[in-house]
Amino acid sequence: MKTYQLYINGQYVDPANGEWFDTVDPYQGKPWAKIPRGSAADADKAVKAANEAMWRGPWAKMKASARGKVMHKLGDLVAANAERLAEIEVRDNGKLMAEMLGQLRYHPEWWWYFGGLVDKLEGGLVPIDKVDTFAYTTHEPVGVVAALTAWNSPLLFVAWKCAAALAAGCAVVVKPSEFTSASTLEFAALTKEAGIPDGIFNVVTGFGPEIGSELISHPGVAKITFTGSDTTGARVYETAARSLKRVSLELGGKSPNIVFEDADLAAAAAGAVSGIFAATGQTCIAGSRLLVQRSIKDKFVDRLLELARSAKIGNPMQADTNIGPVTTPAQYKKILDYIDIAKAEGARCLLGGKPATGEGIIGGQFVEPTIFTDVDNTMRIAREEVFGPVLSIIAFDTEEDAIRIANDTIYGLAAGIWTRDLARAIRVPKQLRAGTVWVNTYRAISYMMPFGGMKHSGVGRESGIDAVREYQETKSVWISTATDVPANPFVMR
C-alpha cells in the first residue's frame, strides 16, 4: 500500500502531526493507499511558502511569456502521463476509466490555453478627461489562492482552477477531497518537472474541518475557489466573507433536460442517458430532471428505457462498463434514501430503484440506473440534488410550461434543450436561468467556454478568458504631466 506525502514548497513532506488515513477503492471496497492527514500547521506552512514564492520568488520576476512556456510544458507532461493518472483516479473515485482517461487527455488543453494567454493579459490606456494627466490600468494577481476541489473529477478541477490562477500570476494551495487526494499529489511532481518554481503549487490533504477551514480563514489567502455542494459552499462563502476574501463557487445543480415534440428522439434519448447515468450521476451538471412534452412522452420513455436497460454495471477499469460504483459509502446511502423518498411521495419507478447486484459487482456500492415517472416538480426528488443515477421524468404541455418548470428551482447550473426548431433553439436559452445551456447535446465542456452557475449553483466562472479575471485585481495609475502648482491644493483637481 502506497503512503503519500504532502507537497509544500516544492518538496514532498510528512504531515506535521505524523498521521495518515486510508483512501478506499470504491469498486473493491478496500483501502489501497494512505493519505496524509494535514493540520492547521501544514496549511500555515503551505500558505507562507506560497506567499514568499509569489511575491518575492522567481515567479514574480519571470516575464509573462516565460511563465506561459512553463505552463505549456506542464500540459505536455500531463499528456504523457494521462493513462497513469487516470488509473489512479479510477482507483480513488470509481468512475469509468473511459471517462477519466478522456478527462486526463483533455486536461492539458487548460495549461496550453492559459499558458498561451499569459502574455496577452494587457491593461489599457485610458483617454482620461483630466488635463495634463496620463492614465492607464494594469491587471495584477489577487494573491495566494486556496483551491478546494471535489471528489468526482479531481484533476479536471485542478486544471479549471489552477491554470487560470497561475496565468494571472498567483500561487495556489490545493486542498483535494479527502476521498480522492492521490491523483493531485501525483500531479504535483509534474509541476516541479515542468519548472514551476517551488512554492507556487502546493497540495495539502486531509479533512475539511481540520485543514479546509484553516485555508479559508487564513490571513495569507486572498482568494478561495471551491467546488462542491451549495450547503458547504454557503459555509465557505460565510467564512471567507469575514476576512473579505475573493470567492468563486462552483456548486450543485438540478438541471432540466428538455425534450420537445419536434426533437430527434434517438439523439435526445442518448443525451438523456448521458446526462444522468454517465459518471454514475455523480456530476454537478447531471440532467436529473427530464422534461418531456406530453404528446411524445410515452414513445420517448419507451426508447429511453430500452437504452438504459442496456447499461453494463461493473468494473470501472473495463472498457465495456457503462456504470461504475458510487464513490463513497455516505453518498451511496444518500442515493438509496432519495429513492425511498421518491417512492413515498408517489413517483412511479419504471427502472431500477435498488442496489445493483450480480456478476462483476463487488464492493457493495452499486445502484441500478433508476428512472421515475409521474414526478411533480414540487417533489423532493425533483428539487434536491441526489448526485446519483436517478432520473425524474416530468411532463409538460407547452414551451412556456417547460420554461416555467425548468426555472422553478433554487439551482441554475446547466440546462439542455432538444429541438429541430431553430427559432426555439435561439429563443428558449435566453429564458432559462442557467449558466450553461446545451442545445441538441449535453455535458459538453471546453477550456474556451466559461463555466459556472446562477442562483444557488455558484458565484464566478471557470474556463475561458473570463476565468483569469477571477484571479486578478485591476489597478488604476495616474501620472500628472502638469508643470504648474495647483492654485488651491485643498480642492480636488
Cell representation of residue 419: 429541438
Whole-angstrom distance, CA of residue 188 vs CA of residue 36: 14
Q: Are 290 and 373 in contact (CB under 8 A)?
A: no
Residue 22, burial from CB neighbour count under 10 angstroms (0-12, 13-18, 19+): exposed
Query: Residue 70: what are its φ and ψ, rounded to 5°?
Result: -65, -45
Q: Which residue type occupies 478?
A: W
Q: What does the alpha-carbon distance between residue 342 and residue 288 come to, in Å, rounded to a whole number? A: 13
Euclidean distance between CA atoms 83 and 404, whole angstroms: 44
Place of cell 415517472: 373
The number of beta carbons lying within 10 Å of the beta carbon of residue 340 is 11
The type of residue at 291 is: L
Report strand pairing: 201-203 vs 172-175: parallel
In angstroms, the CA 47 to CA 39 distance is 13
250 catalytic per annotation: yes
Phi then psi for residue 229, to 5 deg, are: -80, 160
Q: What is the 3-state secondary structure (H, E, C) of 293-360?
A: EHHHHHHHHHHHHHHHHCCCECCCCCCCCCECCCCCHHHHHHHHHHHHHHHHHCCEEEECCCECCCCC
CA-based end-to-end distance of the chain: 70
User: Other C-beta atoms within 10 Å of 267: how many?
Assistant: 15
Q: Which three cell numbers stand for residue 116?
A: 498561451
> Whole-angstrom Cα distance, residue 187 to residue 191?
7
Tell me how crowded residue 77 is: count the other CB atoms within 10 A of its CB.
Answer: 18
How far apart are alpha carbons 21 and 14 in whole angstroms?
Answer: 13
- The amino acid sitting at 188 is A
DSSP 286: -
CA 470, distance to chain mean position in Å, is 15
Q: Give the active site residue among 250, 368, 385, 470.
A: 250
Sign of CA dihedral 156, 311, 373, 300: positive
The residues that are catalytic are 250
